[in-house]
């Protein structure tokens, strides 16, 4: 369905010029390895800081999951089907 719409509207033909221009490099500045950023500072300090932030996000996610499951279980919104039903009606 989507392919028929694309062909019908001629979207591929209209965008062909833009797609071919995307690979044109022109006379821009040549990028070299010297243009890459140089690492600075102690890697272990940066790793520890980033890891503590990621651990806080993980703890918040786990707390949100546990809180959501507890809320849904206590309000009865979802029956988790721990046991067979009492009746088949």
Domain positions in the chain are 1-75
Helix (H, G, I), strand (E, B) or coil at 5: helix
Sign of CA dihedral 8, 11, 17, 20: negative
What stretches in the chain show pLDDT beneath 70? 1-27, 89
Query: Is the overall model pTM greater than 0.75, yes or no?
Result: no
CA 21 to CA 57: how far, in whole Å? 42
In tens, the pLDDT along 54-66 reads 999 999 999 999 9
């Amino acid at each position: 369905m989507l392919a028929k719409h694309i062909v019908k509207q001629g979207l591929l033909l209209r965008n062909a010029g833009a797609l071919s221009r995307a690979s044109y490099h022109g006379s821009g500045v040549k990028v070299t390895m010297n243009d890459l950023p140089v690492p600075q500072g102690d890697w272990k300090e940066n790793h520890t800081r980033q890891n503590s932030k990621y651990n806080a996000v993980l703890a918040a996610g786990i707390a949100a999951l546990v809180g959501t499951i507890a809320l849904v279980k206590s309000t009865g919104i979802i029956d988790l089907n721990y046991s067979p039903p009492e009746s088949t009606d």
